[in-house]
Amino acid sequence: MKTLVINAGSSSIKFQVFEMPEEKVLVSANFERIGLDNSFYSLVKSGEKIKKEAVLDNHLTAINIFLEELISNQIVSSLEEIKTVGHRVVHGSSKYKESIIIDNQVMEDIKSFSDLAPLHNPANLLGIQAVKTALPNAINVAVFDTAFHQTMPKESFIYPVPYEWYEQYGVRKYGFHGVSHHYVSLRIAELENKQPKIIICHLGNGASISAVKEGKCLNTSMGFTPISGIAMGTRCGDIDPSIIPYIMQKTNKSINEIMDDLNKKSGMLGMSQISSDAREIETAINEGNEKAILAQKIYIQKIVSFISYYHTLLGGAEVIAFTAGIGEKDKEVRKEIMEMLKPLGVVIDYSANDVKGVETVITTEESKIKCYIIPTNEELMIGKETYRLSI
């Protein structure tokens, strides 16, 4: 069964087509700058990457071009071969605890949750509507980024604010990167042949950490929005909220301007004043740049503090998994984290850690907590969920 996976952003769409249940990737593509000047897309088939310029007026145009590429590249002989389509949807609120086949009610709900994810849910909905137009006979499945974290108990997701904020306005911790955390938790269970107590470190430009027990999330670092938790590439993570009105008074900036600063100009970029890119930060550290060194120390400490907390919450973690761009590829960040975790019994295998993007164990046999690198695969997770609901 050919399954199309779509990850629609506000001005971009990522595609993959899988042959399921074999999980074979037939083609992938990335359409960028939709609705903007200088739009283009890239296509990868059999290891070969092709880049093309194209006028991408809207999401439906991008989807139609991709479907034409499927025919011209002989991925399918007819669009009727695409039986199922999986859509990443960022926010499912507290209603959707798992993936679901999309009907009119689901679409209405996705729209109603847009105030919780104003940059993402409208784009996700555009992708769904465009596919329904282009592939009217396909089964569409929504895979929510918040769903995996909905197993959190109330003591993990309720904030210490007036309770009516939760009851009337839905103010609570939701968590994000759930598709990635779900994939990694399942992969660890396969490798360990059981469901161990896991701490998952999804470390990319956006980053989140979760505590997983018996395959269920007990807590996660991101909260009501993706800005909270650890410091990230450009996001501040947890800070004292009183900073916001204080800086507003000092700078005469609006709340929207301050939130833009906290989302796009803070984190590693704000602290280092160099870049949000971990590779550029590492170069600056090697050159002795004091702000880059300080930013890295703060970043590591924030991660270790969440790991230590979740270790206690789990009653002793058995596995720590590093995933996403930094988690998979930055050996120095992993090394510094694991060295700080020595009091928990973590013993790093320096030779095993000297890799990028390879699924492997990076601790010694003496280590009380086994540490893994697990390359995440959100598109495959969406494909798996879509196939599961379609058969």
- Report the 10 Å Cβ neighbour count for 374: 26
pLDDT for position 10? 65
Instruction: Please check whether residues 366 and 265 belong to one and the same domain.
Output: yes
Which pLDDT belongs to residue 118? 79
Q: Into how many domains does the chain fold?
A: 2
165 within some domain: no
pLDDT band at 124 (very low <50, low <70, confident <90, very high): confident
Given a cut of 80, is residue 148 above it in pLDDT? yes
Judge whether 276 and 236 are in contact, CB under 8 Å. no
Confidence band of 111 (pLDDT split at 50, 70, 90): very high
The pLDDT, as a whole number, for residue 192 is: 95
Q: Strand runs (DSSP E) across 69-150, as ranges?
A: 82-89, 100-101, 139-144
Q: Please confirm, yes or no, whether 145 is among the known catalytic residues.
A: yes
Q: Above 70 in pLDDT, residue 300? A: yes
Percent of the chain with pLDDT strictly greater than 70: 99
> Which of 144, 174, 203 delimits the end of a domain?
144
Residue 302 in any domain: the answer is yes
Q: What pLDDT, in 10s, does the model give residues 60-104?
A: 888 889 999 999 888 988 888 899 999 999 899 989 999 999 999
Q: Does one domain contain both 198 and 135?
A: no
Domain boundary among 114, 144, 174: 144
**Residues 232 and 373 reside in one and the same domain:** yes
Select which of 37, 57, 145, 330 is catalytic.
Answer: 145
Helix (H, G, I), strand (E, B), or coil: what is residue 65? helix
Tokens of 290: 């004091």
Question: Within a domain: residue 163?
Answer: no
Among residues 214, 159, 210, 226, the alpha carbon closest in space to that of 186 is found at 214
| Amino acid sitting at position 361 | V
pLDDT value for 214: 95
pLDDT of residue 206: 87
Per-residue pLDDT, 80: 87
pLDDT in tens, 242-278: 999 999 999 999 999 999 999 889 999 999 999 888 8
State the angle between helix axes of 121-134 and 104-112 in degrees (0 to 180), rounded to the nearest 10: 160
Rounded to the nearest integer, the mean pLDDT of the chain is 92
Q: How many CB atoms lie within 10 A of CB 169?
A: 9
Q: Is 197 found in the same domain as 118?
A: no
Contact by Cβ (8 Å): 124, 89:
yes
Residues 134 and 6: beta-carbon distance below 8 Å:
no
Residue 152 maps to a domain: no
Per-residue pLDDT band at 33 (split at 50, 70, 90): confident
pLDDT category of residue 115 using cuts at 50, 70 and 90: confident
Beta-strand pair 370-373/2-8: unpaired
Mean pLDDT, residues 166-179: 94
pLDDT tens figures, 326-363: 999 999 999 999 999 999 999 999 999 999 999 999 99
In tens, the pLDDT along 276-299 reads 888 899 999 999 999 999 999 999
Question: What domain range includes position 58?
Answer: 2-144
Cα(122)–Cα(119) distance, integer angstroms: 7
Claim to verify: residue 17 and residue 133 sit in the same structural domain: yes
Is-contact 148 217, C-beta < 8 A? yes
CATH of the domain at 206: 3.30.420.40
